[in-house]
Structure 1
């Protein structure tokens, strides 16, 4: 039986620049709960989970593909499999999808997808077809730099292996059988192979989505605020070549081209734009939408990874990378000064280049030291396309023709240099102590914007972590740790406020501190882990009425419990689930109160999943449930909970595997967490609630086929 393994592991020691090399030596799927699993996310170098104090969850490719076969996208699948990570919002954005109530950093093979301008599109980045596994850290990371105050998700891509050419084909279609527009299709193909010296792989995946419908059979309104994946076409081309330079040296070249954008002509029709008293009421969805700037995400990414297994008697890793990203948004209605509305859409561009180096040395049999440096440069610029108002009014907002383009936010450049060190010391065969430090210096240059002068500022931050792990020598382990994380608030939205100069309004970084107590057991037919945590910070960012941010000195904290359990019964059955319960608060007049649903870091809902599965060598069946609990803040702001069921089955036919997934099995009507939060952000200032209350998709059937040959 191919068992799903979700394992707990370590406190991160820093941003391993060469995560791809963890896959240099192919790892076999564990056959029993007693076997070790090697992960990279725990310590920047391949490390057994039993040697890492902390909580790490490993999602293998087969587990991820099973969720995709039920109609999930990447962020939705991970939300169902990883405790501590919020359920996916179903649109293009992952805004508000936090881990342990704080922000999460997402990487592909060690290259960060996070930007200082927080666009929340890290999961609109890669097709699951090209993913080998996902390693997830829960909790604040001291040595990963900005953005990992709640956790870290590292996506490890598939690589070629030596031997005869190997091919993989996948195809699927999905529909809720509502109208002809309710139809999604996916086609993926890969080729890999090589010899003992050179191995390579290239994978191509094309996905075309139609429209989506809620449980009532109503067409779901587009997410006009952050954009969604309806009428969307995505193309992911990912390739890599691995070269054995010698017995001790390896070179890997990787590249990716990712394009994801709106292609259909369905759009929101506003019948009252040209009325005597213009308003956004009574809108519906019609054919005929066209825009000179429509939602899309385009990304190019390249990396070169070098590994020397014995440089100065140490392991040495070096990574150089470059990422270019262009993101555009849906035409958005803004109130005009002379009554009525005008539409505009932004395009925001980020370039990130960097170099990361790391040494790992065994000083003694029981003492290891990892140290290195991270260097990167990030550049950002943004424009706003304002559409011709006469054309918008005459077409009810369906025809959006460019009128003029202006700057949207001030551009900026950020140069970062960080030095780090981490040490692990086994005092005895059962007791380990770990500690680390990261010092990060950031030079931020802000461009002039709207007649407001720019300027420069420097940031220096030092972060620490310390932990202890005890192995009871019977499958049980426990750990206690303290760690710190850092976020640089979005400089574009901070200095995009009228009159906000750099010289008079310095922007401070936000440091998050966390303590964690955890336990795991791996033995017999059980896989379990649990951790309680407490995270706090004394400054935060808040949105103003113009959707820019202000910085406030405000105490905020998150504390809770995350847990997972899997029980294997005999040779075919498996039951399990995950639990995450937390409290998110801010201090007001000396009293802790539940944080508002639009107050950063945005509070999360308690969540619970459960599953029962049966499988043999040829077929499988899985029934799973997901439950999000109601959340009510101190001002009676509310995010309603929901419960959904999914059924997933597969059959090996001898010519590939056929799968059938039914998502939202009971056809539950509900509003997504993002949709409910978006109402608080955008309504009533930018229109009525229904424009932003993004609904969950109703019952949907996905039929797939996969073949390896």
Structure 2
């Protein structure tokens, strides 16, 4: 908690985006931006930290370009890494660390056995806004070592019944490049009762890069290309005076179609991974996610606000088939001839209880008291042969917390502590033949840790505020990778060093300005883990988890200005500098690789209302060159990474008419040919995953309300 790195900081802060352009006159003050990811609705001007809120209009515009939540995060959140344009989110970090993903406060992340497939859990059309709390946090539970990303779903806002039909298509006007999605929603609000329901179907075709070559399909990890799915979402609510009961259910299903196979890259000729017609081995990869939530709120319980949430989530991710060396077992088939595919299954259920009481004991002092409980059962099996790759991880956590906030004139002070009491149980299991087929004795591990936070916001002048914060996050390493990789005899779960928790401390300082014509700010942060996790790819292409200290420092600046009543311009820049060590006790002189750290990023945009009921956005994203760890190795593995940056420009717009809203988008307007950041940078160049990005892509949408 000591703020020594902050004493060296000279910084200024990242603030939430202003509302949709053209909605307010230039001489009117900006509307207050409120977030709920802090467990209690708070104005961003009273939160000591960097907060981003992606508004409904911003989401709508970004989804015209790419129906991909990670693309929206990469555009509007300075510290978020570039989108992979795949169903896999490997390398999509937040400020060099892993964020905790929530849907209305329900955890969607699977930190015990990630698989990097948690980014696709709901249709984008049900999302009203996205709240992002940057930096380590424990307020929402385990896994937020990089921050919190909370997706807030829609609900009826006006009385009456409203039907909405929406459709989206995109095309590159080449063979089998058509994407389409259609959905229908019903929003009904009558008296104390309301309901929002949505159903959609989508089908995604193939993509072509800037040279007209088919983009490679990731047949192993899963892909958004040559795929399709559906979503069914229902939210029911009833108010009883100061009380409200709400039930939310979402079923999301997305799977590949297996019409294309992967064609390996040819590094000598300089051609990336491509695709060709043909079925890859095994069943198509898929995501199957079911989430249910029961919420209760009492706005005046013992002079405070009480909320309780019961939730469950059932997550299944099937990966593609392969005859990789990891899957081989000479007892089942000759070496190299065994094709198999893995499947991650994670069951979560739990409860969250929060009570907020202002002016308790001391005038101006607000108390937030609560307790969370989580039960997580995760595992990974070989789907074709029913072998155990990762045994069932039975994890339970109970965490009481207290958060205090004191407001004295222009100063708001917030601080709190959360006690994480967690227990992990694993039964005895046998590793795959490729790891030696060793029997690992089951066991139990317990973790008990108090994670703290403290910060202050000073509104030192009209429209200006500064903040200082120090916060901790609690997480566990990817337990599944640790356990499945045991390759020595006589090991037991309760003795493995690599299962120790990850405690991340984030310290930050910044200043914000919010005026009638826009907002601006910048921040500097220092994030440290004495016992962090670094995933390195070894010479065989397998992931190896190293437990070494990690430090990530960075700064972010952003701003938006209303040039006229109809024109607004914005800019955001983020620089991330992560370091680690080759081994515990060694110097911190190794740069974090592409799996953990994004390149420096600049986003420029202009929003224009040329005519009434029209909106136009032009944006450009620049990713800077990055060359790291020159000449450095870790055993037989070369740690060098090289990235040649690129600039991509997009344009999108909407027109409102009496027949509905028409939208259009052009992604990668210049038809730039480029290799994505992660496949271009990662030290182990896999010919099956050296993917180019999409070339110029046209899209159109239509929305009609009745």
Same fold by TM-score greater than 0.5? yes
Structure-2 residue corresponding to 1:644: 648
Deviations along 1:43-79, one digit per CA (max 9) or x if unpaired, are: 3111222222211111111110101112341111121
The alignment partner of 2:344 has SS state of strand
Structure-1 residue corresponding to 2:702: 705
Structure-1 residue corresponding to 2:293: 303
Q: Closer, same or farther in 2 for the Cα pair 1:550/1:650, shift >3 Å?
A: closer
Q: Does 1:383 align with 2:381?
A: yes
Aligned-residue offset at 1:558:
0.8
Q: Retained in 2: the 8 A contact 1:662–1:700?
A: yes
- Corresponding residue to 1:478 among 457, 463, 466: 466
Q: Does 1:675 align with 2:679?
A: yes
Aligned-residue offset at 1:7:
8.2
- Corresponding residue to 2:689 among 673, 688, 692: 692
Structure-2 residue corresponding to 1:276: none
Distance, in Å, in 2 between the alignment partners of 1:324 and 1:29 is 40
Distance, in Å, in 1 between the alignment partners of 2:119 and 2:369 is 30
Structure-2 residue corresponding to 1:123: 119
Structure-1 residue corresponding to 2:15: 8
Aligned-residue offset at 1:544:
6.3
Structure-1 residue corresponding to 2:419: 439
Q: Closer, same or farther in 2 for the Cα pair 1:286/1:84, shift >3 Å?
A: closer
Deviations along 1:465-495, one digit per CA (max 9) or x if unpaired, are: 1111100241000001111112201112111
Q: Retained in 1: the 8 A contact 2:282–2:341?
A: no
Aligned-residue offset at 1:590:
5.4
Aligned-residue offset at 1:42:
5.4
Q: Does 1:526 align with 2:506?
A: no
Higher relative contact order (CA 8 A, sep 6+): 2
The alignment partner of 1:540 has SS state of coil
Distance, in Å, in 2 between the alignment partners of 1:60 and 1:654 is 24
Q: Does 1:149 align with 2:134?
A: no
Aligned-residue offset at 1:419:
0.9
Instruction: Let me know the Cα RMSD of the aligned residues.
Output: 2.5
Distance, in Å, in 2 between the alignment partners of 1:109 and 1:30 is 28
Structure-1 residue corresponding to 2:386: 405
Structure-2 residue corresponding to 1:330: 320
Distance, in Å, in 2 between the alignment partners of 1:100 and 1:285 is 33
Aligned-residue offset at 1:292:
4.3
Deviations along 1:431-477, one digit per CA (max 9) or x if unpaired, are: 12211101101110112221322111101111111111100241000
Structure-1 residue corresponding to 2:605: 611
Deviations along 1:218-273, one digit per CA (max 9) or x if unpaired, are: 1111124422111111212111011012x1111011000000101242223689xx
Q: Does 1:49 align with 2:56?
A: no
Q: Closer, same or farther in 2 for the Cα pair 1:78/1:379, shift >3 Å?
A: same
Deviations along 1:270-324, one digit per CA (max 9) or x if unpaired, are: 89xxxxxxxxx99964334165422100011100000011222221110000110
Distance, in Å, in 2 between the alignment partners of 1:229 and 1:572 is 36
Structure-2 residue corresponding to 1:17: none
Aligned-residue offset at 1:508:
0.3
Distance, in Å, in 2 between the alignment partners of 1:270 and 1:162 is 53
- Corresponding residue to 2:487 among 478, 492, 498: 498
Aligned-residue offset at 1:40:
3.0
Distance, in Å, in 1 between the alignment partners of 2:661 and 2:118 is 30
Residue pairs, 1:558-597, within 5 angstroms: 558-587=552-581, 591-597=587-593
Q: Retained in 2: the 8 A contact 1:596–1:637?
A: no
Structure-2 residue corresponding to 1:539: 531
Distance, in Å, in 1 between the alignment partners of 2:14 and 2:272 is 50
The alignment partner of 2:678 has SS state of helix
Q: Retained in 1: the 8 A contact 2:14–2:522?
A: no
Gaps of 5+ in 2: 1-12, 266-270, 431-438, 633-639
Structure-1 residue corresponding to 2:237: 242
Aligned-residue offset at 1:35:
3.8
Q: Does 1:159 align with 2:155?
A: yes
Q: Closer, same or farther in 2 for the Cα pair 1:323/1:229, shift >3 Å?
A: same
The alignment partner of 2:73 has SS state of helix
Aligned-residue offset at 1:30:
6.8
Q: Does 1:355 align with 2:345?
A: no
Q: Closer, same or farther in 2 for the Cα pair 1:288/1:522, shift >3 Å?
A: same
Distance, in Å, in 2 between the alignment partners of 1:420 and 1:591 is 36
The alignment partner of 1:704 has SS state of strand
The alignment partner of 2:75 has SS state of helix
The alignment partner of 1:63 has SS state of helix
The alignment's TM-score, normalised by the length of structure 1, stands at 0.87
The alignment partner of 1:80 has SS state of helix
Structure-2 residue corresponding to 1:372: 370
The alignment partner of 2:202 has SS state of strand
The number of aligned residues is: 649
